Structure formats: structure tokens, C-alpha cells
């Protein structure tokens, strides 16, 4: 009897070990949005969450968790230093993340310390005001700033040098204004900034077109004055002019995507990379991406690594032009 029981226990242990051994990177996946709910990182994670489930690439629903702090710095440091080998965890990033990296805002880590998984779409900067604002157009905004810069407060997801700050500074410079004379209030992410905008705590938010579109759909009382694209956007934003057509040479595309920890195995990383590549090539994904206001921009593998390096060089130059700190 004892031998029979011992054999049964050994068999059960071996079965459990076998089950654990075959657990794959797509099992019980998690997407970390490095800010509070409601902004662009949240949108990025939820796009992947919906597309992976709809396409049946995962059997377990993807959990979206939030890790605010430093506009991505806390999440970046946590993944590199504390969770480097998690094969079922992806982290959202944007062009703003790369801009902060270029300025050393993620601490001692650089773009070489994570595995860049996929770029899943692109967004564009937008100049946003509250629906009740007396500022009805970009000329109104420029006139108000020229009349009294201290009365027009910009909300930004992040402090001086952040992506939102840079969008506002580029717009100001194109209009012949001094970015250093403008007032900025830093918020942890787009969700907080939009809340402050609607509450009248700031007058303008230099955010993202897709997050503004999502918030308007959800009932937010905001208005987009202009977008920072090379041509007018489609859909509900088609009536919004570009800064370019208004005479201001400012464009700000915003790549969105994911990275993973530096110690994720090549095999597990390939599973994720191949899954994203396959998913992004489908009409179903195109539909979900468009519904969230993102435009087609799909990169994985060496092509994404090359793009990241090119962007980092461009952001370092831009930061240097504005007299900001730059890392090498």
C-alpha cells in the first residue's frame, strides 16, 4: 500500500512539473501601463488586450496593471532590475518614453537595457482645451499667450522636457513665442491632465489625438484645436485642422508599443514577437487599432531596434536644441 501511495505521489509530482515546464509566455499575460488609468499607456495596453483575445492568440485574458511614476521610469526600472525574466509581462511605451530616456530621466538605464517587442501603431500630438474655454482656435491661443503668458497655463504629462512639454514648446517656438516664458503644470499622465483641464486648473493640454478622441467618446467636455500630423486625420477628427495647415511647422507622431525584460529568453521573446507580427497583419487588428484613433505603424524584430536607435538620436538632438540634459 505504501509503495502504491509513493508511486502515486511521484506520478502526481512529475505531472505537475511537466505542466509547469510547458507553461508558455502567453499564459496569464500581463500588460503594465506605466501611468494611472485613462491615458495613452492605458489605451496601448487595452488595444493589445482586446486584439490578442479577439484573435484567440491567448486563452487567458490579459491583465492590465498600472505602475505610475516618472512617466514610465518606475516601470522601466522595475522590469530591468526586479522583473527582468518575466516571459508573460509586456510594458507599454511611447515616443515620450524614448524622449525621457534620451534625457536620462529613467535613471542609470538606457534603451539597451530592455527588449523592444513591437510597435503597434502611431498617434499624433494635439492641442486640447476645455469645451467651455474662450479659446476657440490656435490664433486665439497664440493671441492669449502674447497678451499675458502667465494667464495661460499648460498641463503636461510630465515635467519640463517631457513629450507633452516638447509639443507645447515646439508650438510656441513656431508661433514666435518663448517656451521658457510659458507656464506648465506637470501631471503623472494624460488622464490626470485631462481631468485638470476640465476642472479649469489648466487652460491648455498638449496631449494626444487618440486619447482625446477616446475621452470625448466617454463624455469628456474637451475640444481639440489642432493636431500635429502631416495631414488631417480621418474619422471623428477629420474636421480638426493640422498645425501645418494653420501655418505652424510642427509635427509630432507618437509611436506606441511594448518592451519586455532584458532576461526574457530568445525563445519566449520570439513567441511574443511572432504573435504580434501575425496579429498586426490581420484586418481585425486594423479595425481595433483604428477604433482607438491609432494609425498603422507595425514593427517588430531588427526593424524595430533600428527605429528605436534612430529615434533616440533624433530626441537627443531635439533635447540639446532646447538646452535640456542629454545622455549618450
Q: Please give the model's pTM, rounded to 2 decimal places.
A: 0.77
CATH architecture assignment, domain 124-237: 3-Layer(aba) Sandwich (3.40)
Would you tell me the crossing angle of helices 163-174 and 95-102 to the nearest 10 degrees? 90
Alpha-carbon dihedral 107, 90, 41, 293, rounded to 10 degrees: 140
* CA angle (264, 110, 210) in 5-degree steps: 85
Beta strand 63-66 with 183-187: parallel, antiparallel or unpaired? unpaired
CA nearest neighbour of 179 among 200, 156, 201: 156
CA nearest neighbour of 155 among 164, 147, 146: 164
Q: Is the pLDDT of residue 1 over 70?
A: no
Name residue 300's beta-bridge partners: 118
CA distance 204 to 225: 10
Dmax over CA atoms of the chain, in Å, equals: 92
Grid coordinates given for 325? 540634459
Query: Looking at the chain, which residues constitute the CATH 3.40.190.10 domain(s)?
Result: 124-237
CA nearest neighbour of 315 among 93, 92, 51: 93
If pLDDT is split at 50, 70 and 90, which confidence band does 10 have? very low
* Alpha-carbon distances, residue 68 vs 96, 117, 166, 197, 204 (angstroms): 14, 21, 20, 20, 23
Decide which of 27 and 3 is more confident.
27
Q: Is the pLDDT of residue 96 over 90?
A: no
Mean pLDDT in residue range 199-222: 90
If pLDDT is split at 50, 70 and 90, which confidence band does 21 have? very low
CATH (one of 3.30.365.10, 3.40.120.10, 3.40.190.150, 1.10.3720.10) for 26-123+254-321: 3.40.190.150
Q: What is the pLDDT of residues 31-46, one digit of tens each?
A: 999 998 988 899 999 9
CA distance 307 to 286: 21
Query: Looking at the chain, which residues constitute the CATH 3.40.190.150 domain(s)?
Result: 26-123+254-321
Q: Are 107 and 69 in contact (CB under 8 A)?
A: no
**pLDDT at 328 (0 to 100):** 58
CA distance 256 to 239: 24
CA nearest neighbour of 91 among 113, 70, 76, 108: 76
**pLDDT at 79 (0 to 100):** 98
Core vs surface per residue 120-141: b (16+ CB within 10 A) or e: bbbbbbbbbbbeebebeebeeb
3-state helix, strand, coil in the chain (%, to 5): 45, 20, 35
Amino acid at each position: 500500500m505504501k509503495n502504491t501511495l509513493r508511486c502515486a505521489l511521484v506520478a502526481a509530482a512529475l505531472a505537475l512539473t511537466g505542466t509547469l515546464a510547458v507553461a508558455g509566455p502567453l499564459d496569464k499575460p500581463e500588460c503594465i501601463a506605466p501611468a494611472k488609468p485613462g491615458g495613452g499607456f492605458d489605451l496601448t495596453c487595452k488595444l493589445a488586450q482586446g486584439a490578442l483575445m479577439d484573435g484567440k492568440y491567448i486563452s487567458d485574458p490579459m491583465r492590465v496593471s498600472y505602475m505610475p511614476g516618472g512617466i514610465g521610469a518606475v516601470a522601466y526600472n522595475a522590469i530591468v532590475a526586479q522583473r527582468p525574466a518575466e516571459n508573460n509581462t509586456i510594458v507599454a511605451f511611447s515616443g515620450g518614453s524614448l524622449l525621457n530616456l534620451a534625457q536620462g530621466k529613467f535613471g542609470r538605464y538606457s534603451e539597451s537595457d530592455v527588449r523592444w517587442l513591437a510597435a503597434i501603431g502611431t498617434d499624433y500630438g494635439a492641442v486640447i482645451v476645455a469645451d467651455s474655454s474662450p479659446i476657440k482656435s490656435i490664433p486665439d491661443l497664440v493671441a492669449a499667450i502674447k497678451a499675458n503668458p502667465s494667464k495661460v497655463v499648460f498641463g503636461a504629462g510630465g515635467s519640463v522636457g517631457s513629450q507633452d512639454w516638447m509639443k507645447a514648446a515646439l508650438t510656441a517656438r513656431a508661433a514666435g513665442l518663448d517656451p521658457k516664458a510659458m507656464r506648465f503644470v506637470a501631471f503623472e499622465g494624460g488622464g490626470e491632465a485631462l481631468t485638470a483641464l476640465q476642472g479649469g486648473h489648466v487652460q491648455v493640454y498638449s496631449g494626444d489625438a487618440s486619447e482625446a478622441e477616446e475621452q470625448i467618446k466617454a463624455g469628456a467636455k474637451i475640444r481639440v484645436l489642432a493636431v500635429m500630423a502631416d495631414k488631417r486625420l480621418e474619422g471623428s477628427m477629420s474636421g480638426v485642422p493640422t498645425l501645418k495647415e494653420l501655418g505652424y511647422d510642427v509635427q509630432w507622431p507618437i509611436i506606441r508599443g511594448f518592451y519586455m525584460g532584458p532576461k526574457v529568453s530568445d525563445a519566449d521573446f520570439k513567441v511574443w514577437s511572432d504573435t504580434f507580427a501575425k496579429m498586426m497583419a490581420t484586418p481585425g487588428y486594423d479595425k481595433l487599432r483604428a477604433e482607438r484613433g491609432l494609425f498603422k505603424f507595425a514593427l517588430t524584430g531588427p526593424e524595430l531596434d533600428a527605429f528605436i536607435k534612430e529615434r533616440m538620436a533624433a530626441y537627443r538632438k531635439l533635447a540639446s536644441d532646447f538646452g535640456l540634459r542629454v545622455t549618450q
